[in-house]
Structure 1
Amino acid sequence: MNLLIMRHGEAGWHTLDQERELTEAGRLGVAAVASQIASSPWRPELIWCSPLVRARQTAGIVSEILNCPIQEKMFITPDDDPGECLNRLLEYSGESLMIISHMPLVGALSTLLVDGHRKGIPFMTGQAVLLDMPIAGPGCADLRAQFLP
């Protein structure tokens, strides 16, 4: 399975955390990353996104550029357990998937899948990584590509 993991675009700080919206720079950065992915050989069949506003806005931009459906998932909010996400990945039967979420989850999930631990690598806003996972499990993925705004 190819798994793209993306952190939402840059968001403003003028409201409650759950309601933060993308800035203009955030929208442009997300579109740039989605365009890079569209030009690559890796395209997701489906996007899972966090229900928080900034992740939904990010997924909307990516979905439009990649022509890909979106499903909101309650288990990929900022402080959710990456192990729960891994359990859900084990149930996923598709060939390619994109997850759009937040720090620290995206860093912890990526690290769990590549290195088998949960310390978490940093992600810039709008950044995406591509993981190649023959099977879903701790330490079973290889980092194949990185997309930066």
Structure 2
Amino acid sequence: MMRVFLVRHALAHERSRTNWPDDSLRPLTATGKRKFRKVARGLARLLPKSARILTSPFVRARETAGILAAVHGGRFVDCQELAHGEQPRAVFALLRLRSGPAVVLVGHEPDLGLFLAAAIGADGARITFKKGGAACIEFAGRVGAGRATLRWMMTPQILRGLRKKSSTG
């Protein structure tokens, strides 16, 4: 069994050809970092300690993964398969290569929504992640399209609220 946690990068600066002619270099805003630290504390409560964090190589995703790794304890690995514009089949291939019981994928929209729809067999469905939002899917056997079960999907607001909950409820 493999659990996959999908996380959209936190709030980034607006696109600007002047400031970031290469969109892959666009960073998180100070507000995005601050809010995602709270999200990460809630999300870390849901992640197994063994979870591996894989991220898009884009700066905003790497910064998001770095915050999560600092809170969760661990490191993250850049994966081109998670770059903005990659197709779900590239993500399925990545998961087959980097197998483990729990994997966190930090990426972009609409890519995460397209992957989630393909994974749960809902191709064509319009699934969107808020910035800093997350979902968890589970593959009981082989990783592939239509083989996952959606366990949960949460907004950043819900995840921030989880950081305050005690372990007993």
Check whether the contact 1:36–1:147 (CA below 8 A) recurs between aligned residues. no
Runs of 4+ in structure 1 over 3 Å off: 41-44
1:112 and 1:106, CA in 2 relative to 1: closer, same or farther beyond 3 A? same
Q: Which residue of the partner structure matches residue 2 of structure 1?
A: 3
- Distance in 2 between the 1:59 and 1:38 partners? 12
Q: 2:68 aligns with which of 57, 62, 71?
A: 62
Q: Which residue of the partner structure matches residue 139 of structure 1?
A: 146
1:117 offset after TM fit, Å? 1.8
Instruction: Name the amino acid aligned to 2:144.
Output: G
- Distance in 2 between the 1:41 and 1:75 partners? 22
**Which structure 2 segments of 5+ residues have no match?**
157-169
Q: 2:56 aligns with which of 43, 50, 56?
A: 50
Q: Which has the larger radius of gyration?
A: 2
- Distance in 2 between the 1:133 and 1:43 partners? 19
1:112 offset after TM fit, Å? 0.8
Deviations 1:37-96 (CA, angstroms, capped at 9, x unpaired): 222364552111011110010000000000122110111111111111111212223100
Moved more, 85-94 or 66-75: 85-94
- Distance in 1 between the 2:36 and 2:72 partners? 12
1:87 and 1:63, CA in 2 relative to 1: closer, same or farther beyond 3 A? same
Aligned length: 149
Q: 2:99 aligns with which of 81, 93, 107?
A: 93
- Distance in 1 between the 2:49 and 2:110 partners? 24
Moved more, 1-10 or 118-127: 118-127
